[in-house]
Amino acid sequence: MTAGSQARALPKNEPAPEIHPVKARFVDSIAEIGQRDWNALTGIRNPFMRYEFLHALESTGCTGPDSGWLPRHLVLHQGGACRGIVPLYSKTHSWGEYVFDWSWANAYQQHGLPYYPKFVTSAPFTPSTGQRLFGMAGSHLPLVVEQIRRRAERDGASSWHVLFPTGEEARLLRQQNLHIRRGAQFQWRNRDYRSFDDFLAGLVSRKRKTLRKERRRVGEQDIGFRVTEGPEISEAQWADFYLFYQNTYLQRGMQGYLSLEFFHRIAASMPGQLLLINASHGGQDIAAALFFRNDETLFGRYWGCREEREHLHFETCYYQGLDYAIANGLQRFDSGAQGEHKIQRGFEPVTTSSAHWLANPEFHRAVGQFVAREKDHIEAYQQAARSLLPYRDTREPAS
């Protein structure tokens, strides 16, 4: 008997099972997909890709026509079931992305070509690496790329940019003829520290003394701190935090991307992943930093203050965050984009990625050449940054 003949034979009148093809469609709102189907594919571990975060952005207008972030999410479905999701936005500017392509836009303008709209797959306003292509079996990605390119042609979009994908996603996108651009961020890694002093013991003496002096100086200014987990954050705390947050942007002549209503929405829908650290002086809050978290990582995101104080930013955004991460057994502190000042505080350089396709063949080739040259500079920058890390040789005694 052959292997094939061992399978159950169909009765003469029983039709063969129907095989539904995988199809793609674009939707103009995450609500068209729904919380259940979205989170079933994306999960909720990454706070910036879960339905509640992205829906709060859309429902409060932080992403939408007035903000220049038009949702165009791509959904794969098969036989009525949601099989894949690609968060996608049509952008009319390059703000809030943290992968800077202003020079590319200028080059288009100089050649009389429109760079906007462009397509972007990302967590809006969030420079954090994470999965961007959900439910993607290897055979599905060519379909996704083809559909996005067709939609770009239809909408007159110049390009598609996938920001801060995972390393594996970057590898797969390279196979689809997207150029991979490298970047650098600084993140802290928990080496089984038992306390902040335990962390300090691993630093060279000079840096250890500097950090202790900075923390001591904050205390000498009679500034206290309190940590509030998401479910316990009060309306008054949110109101103060939002004023601080907007004040930070106003000092640079800008307005914050996010609204108070957005913060209220995520406070109600995903409080377990939020953490607020307040700084107070004389019984009044003068600064606050909002963090996100999961079971492994602390994400430092938004900060603001009522008044500037010496070392207040470092203490609120970094040292208090390190205290929390160590106390709660978190393995990583993702503090956001840029910031060479983080190096001397123990944040190590890590490589980030973005993937880019440009519809114009000549510009696509030019961008490929640019990112190839830039890669060497990024690697040299990271190597130089590593040489400045404050960690001591383990043979040096701590003092």
Summarize pLDDT for 90-136 with one digit per residue, the tens: 999 999 999 999 999 999 999 999 999 999 999 999 999 999 999 97
pLDDT at 310: 96
Helix (H, G, I), strand (E, B) or coil at 195: coil
Query: Are residues 197 and 341 located together in one domain of the fold?
Result: yes
The pair of structure tokens assigned to 184 is 């650098």
**CA 20 to chain centroid:** 35
d(CA 44, CA 38): 10
Instruction: Kindly state whether residue 382 falls inside one of the protein's structural domains.
Output: no
Tell whether 148 and 231 lie within a shared domain. no
Q: Which of 302, 313, 111 is nearest to 223 (CA)?
A: 313
Amino acid in the structure at residue 92: T
Q: Tally the domains of the chain.
A: 2
Write the DSSP assignment of 133-192 as a string of letters: SBS--TTTHHHHHHHHHHHHHHHT--EEEEES--HHHHHHHHHTTPEEEEEEEEEEE--S
Angstrom distance (rounded) from CA 291 to CA 278: 11
Do residue 297 and residue 148 come from a single domain?
A: no
Other C-beta atoms closer than 10 Å to the C-beta of 292 total 23
Q: What pLDDT is attached to residue 208?
A: 96
Residue 362 resides in a domain: no
Domain ends where: 177, 203, 237? 177
User: Could you tell me if 160 and 286 lie in one domain?
Assistant: no
CATH assignment of the domain containing 209? 3.40.630.30
56 with 115, same domain: the answer is yes
Tokens of 383: 């190597």
Residues 197 and 337 in one domain: yes
- Radius of gyration of the chain measured on its C-alpha atoms: 24
Residue 270 CA to residue 189 CA, distance in Å, equals 25
Amino acid at 295: D
Helix 260-269 vs helix 235-250: angle between axes, to the nearest 10 degrees? 140
Is 248 found in the same domain as 150?
A: no
Q: Are 218 and 165 in a shared domain?
A: no
- Predicted pLDDT of residue 20: 81
State how far the Cα of 371 lies from the Cα of 180, in Å rounded to an integer.
7
What is the pLDDT, as a whole number, of residue 248?
Answer: 87
65 and 103 fall within a common domain: yes
Q: Is residue 53 part of a domain?
A: yes
Query: For the chain, how many residues are written?
Result: 399
**Cis peptide leading into 47, omega within 30 of 0?**
no
Rounded to whole angstroms, how far apart are CA atoms 80 and 383? 50
| Domain that residue 226 falls in | 187-348
Coil/strand/helix, residue 274? strand
- Residue 358: closest CA among 349, 350, 346, 370: 370
Are the C-beta atoms of 128 and 299 separated by less than 8 Å?
yes
Q: Is 199 a domain residue?
A: yes
Q: Which of 41, 137, 24, 34 is nearest to 78 (CA)?
A: 24
Phi-psi region of 236 (alpha: psi -120 to 50; beta: other; left: phi over 0): alpha
User: What was the pLDDT predicted at 1?
Assistant: 43
Q: Indicate whether 117 and 198 sit together in one domain.
A: no
What is the residue-level pLDDT of the chain in tens, covering all 399 positions? 444 444 455 555 655 455 788 999 999 999 999 999 999 999 999 999 999 999 999 999 999 999 999 999 999 999 889 999 999 999 999 999 999 999 999 999 999 999 999 999 999 999 999 999 999 766 799 999 999 999 999 999 999 999 999 999 999 999 999 999 999 999 999 999 999 999 999 999 999 999 999 999 999 999 999 999 999 999 999 999 999 999 988 888 888 999 999 999 999 999 999 999 999 999 999 999 999 999 999 999 999 999 889 999 999 999 999 999 999 999 999 998 878 899 999 999 999 999 999 999 999 999 999 999 999 999 999 999 999 999 987 534 444
Q: Name the E strands within 124-215.
A: 159-163, 179-189
The pLDDT, as a whole number, for residue 395 is: 39
The tokens for 190 are 């928990």
Q: What is the pLDDT of residue 336?
A: 86
Three-point CA angle 47, 229, 268, nearest 5°: 60
